[in-house]
Amino acid sequence: MNHSERVTVLVGVTGGIAAYKSCELVRALIKRGYRVKVVMTEAATEFVTPLTFRTLTNEPVAVSLWEDDPSAPVHHISLADEADVCVIAPCTANVIAKIAHGRADDLLTTSVLATEAPIVIAPAMNVHMWRDEVTQSNVAALHARGVVFVEPAAGELACGDIGEGRLAPVEEIAAAVTVEAERARDLAGRTVLVTAGGTQEPIDPVRYIGNRSSGKTGFAIAAEAARRGARVTLVTGPTHLADPFEVEVVRIQTALEMHAAVMARVGEADAVVASAAVADFRPAETVSGKIKKDSIPEAITLVRNPDILAELGERDLGGVRIGFAAETSEVERHAREKLEAKRCHMVVANDVSDPALGFGTEANSVLFVTRAGVESSGVLLKRTIAREICDRLSRLLAGGHTA
């Protein structure tokens, strides 16, 4: 991610007749104050020359993976890192297919695969190619991963056919880039504390009581908030997930350890996102040696764990507080109750009775419950849900909300 003052937009140009309109797009983006870098596919250079874009942007125009100055940084990685937003306009059916399948065989597709920046795609192609099921399923797959599409317009196409497939108006594409550019930095200067994963409450050195949670949503929220400029601390129970980039990760095991880690850090937080599945109870005592099977205890006495989020609410700590609710029935009602009981600003609620969604899966469908109303996310990948949560967090922070 680029940390310079000016927002950098990487404009990808692919080989279609609408490539000439990319010149207008580049001008519109420069007019909006962005630093623009262009990367073209070989096919695009058949329609417009790199020199045109070089002149418009005053920046070198990249085409090939192989023509780098050997002393320069690895080009596709530096472009990917520099970009705050990546927009591909026009984007052909072929490049949509390549991106949807993770292919990276030229500078543009490698940069797209390597970037952490939001991606905007403005397709342009023949109407039959656009409507083809395979194109539509590629579009749907990318959409679920959070790619923003600026839908092609209808009209007469270069090939003579009539229908949708024309590149969307340049101003519409530029506006979509602006939405993403604002989102790319909207948590800058904020400190966000995220809890994730399930806690494990030891019975003896090898056994524990725990809650089901992969930690994926919390890790995705931490990564998204960090990408958007926040200083993020992630307090997580045991999970196999790797540390997100640019996030301070505090790994704990028990609810008491999570409680201590949160309380030690919450003073600095502008927001707390409590996605952890904290075990509500722990064994009153942990047996120091392994319990052998011929000496099974008659019963294990449980005691309550502190409710971390409720305590933050009670003491009005942590700024904007977002809680989670995993329910199996009457999802909205239970979420509303938690919103009030734990004095949160928003509760993200999901129905965990559907095995295709939620625990351990890549996708989820949630309700965003606030005092202002309820919105449904529809089925999205957890990474995209994280983006939706950060959008709302950003608005709550900007609105100076109190519970």
Please identify every residue annotated as catalytic: 159
Query: Considering the complex, what minimum distance in angstroms separates the CB of residue 103 from ligand CTP?
Result: 39
Name which position in 124, 234, 255, 396 contacts ligand CTP (CB under 6 A): 255
Helix crossing, 216-227 with 382-398: angle to 10°? 50
**CB-count exposure of residue 146 (10 Å: 0-12, 13-18, 19+):** middle
Identify which of residues 328 and 376 has a Cβ nearer to ligand CTP in the complex: 328
* 8 A C-beta contact, residue 192 and residue 269: yes
Give the Cα separation of 370 and 374 in Å (integer).
Answer: 6
Of the candidate spans 145-153, 161-169, 175-183, 270-278, the one that interacts with ligand CTP by CB under 6 A turns out to be 270-278
Of the candidate spans 80-88, 145-153, 225-233, 274-282, the one that interacts with ligand CTP by CB under 6 A turns out to be 274-282
Name residues contacting ligand CTP, limited to 176-235 (CB under 6 A).
195
Identify which of residues 41 and 199 has a Cβ nearer to ligand CTP in the complex: 199
> What is the DSSP code (8-state) at residue 316?
T
Work out whether 272 is an interface residue with ligand CTP (CB under 6 A).
no
Identify which of residues 13 and 325 has a Cβ nearer to ligand CTP in the complex: 325
Give the Cα separation of 104 and 210 in Å (integer).
Answer: 41
Give the Cα separation of 94 and 108 in Å (integer).
Answer: 12
In the numeric block, the tokens 């960090």 are attached to: 226
Name residues contacting ligand CTP, limited to 290-349 (CB under 6 A).
305, 307-309, 323-326, 338
**Peptide bond preceding 90: is omega within 30 degrees of 0, i.e. cis?**
yes
Name which position in 48, 192, 276, 386 contacts ligand CTP (CB under 6 A): 276
Query: Considering the complex, what minimum distance in angstroms separates the CB of residue 309 from ligand CTP?
Result: 3
Give the Cα separation of 232 and 346 in Å (integer).
Answer: 19
Work out whether 350 is an interface residue with ligand CTP (CB under 6 A).
no
In the numeric block, the tokens 């580049």 are attached to: 26
The neighbour count for residue 50, using CB atoms within 10 Å, is 17
**400: its two tokens:** 């100076």
Give all strands of the β-sheet with 35-40 in edge-to-edge order.
35-40, 8-13, 85-91, 119-123, 148-149
**Torsional sign, CA 55, 56, 59, 65:** negative
Identify which of residues 79 and 326 has a Cβ nearer to ligand CTP in the complex: 326
Count of residues in contact with ligand CTP, rule CB under 6 A: 15
For residue 66, what are the CA distances in angstroms to 9, 105, 106, 115? Answer: 22, 11, 9, 19
**164: its two tokens:** 């949708």
Work out whether 36 is an interface residue with ligand CTP (CB under 6 A).
no
Of the candidate spans 107-115, 184-192, 271-279, 281-289, the one that interacts with ligand CTP by CB under 6 A turns out to be 271-279
Query: Considering the complex, what minimum distance in angstroms separates the CB of residue 156 from ligand CTP?
Result: 54
Contacts of 116 (CB under 8 A, 6+ apart): 1, 80, 227, 245
Identify which of residues 120 and 272 has a Cβ nearer to ligand CTP in the complex: 272
Query: Considering the complex, what minimum distance in angstroms separates the CB of residue 215 from ligand CTP?
Result: 12
Query: Considering the complex, what minimum distance in angstroms separates the CB of residue 308 from ligand CTP?
Result: 3
Query: Considering the complex, what minimum distance in angstroms separates the CB of residue 381 from ligand CTP?
Result: 21
Identify which of residues 36 and 308 has a Cβ nearer to ligand CTP in the complex: 308
Query: Considering the complex, what minimum distance in angstroms separates the CB of residue 402 from ligand CTP?
Result: 19
Work out whether 236 is an interface residue with ligand CTP (CB under 6 A).
no
What are the backbone dihedrals phi and psi of residue 336, each rounded to the nearest 5 degrees, phi first?
-60, -40
Identify which of residues 197 and 244 has a Cβ nearer to ligand CTP in the complex: 197
Chain residues binding ligand CTP by CB under 6 A are 195, 255, 274, 276, 278, 280, 305, 307-309, 323-326, 338
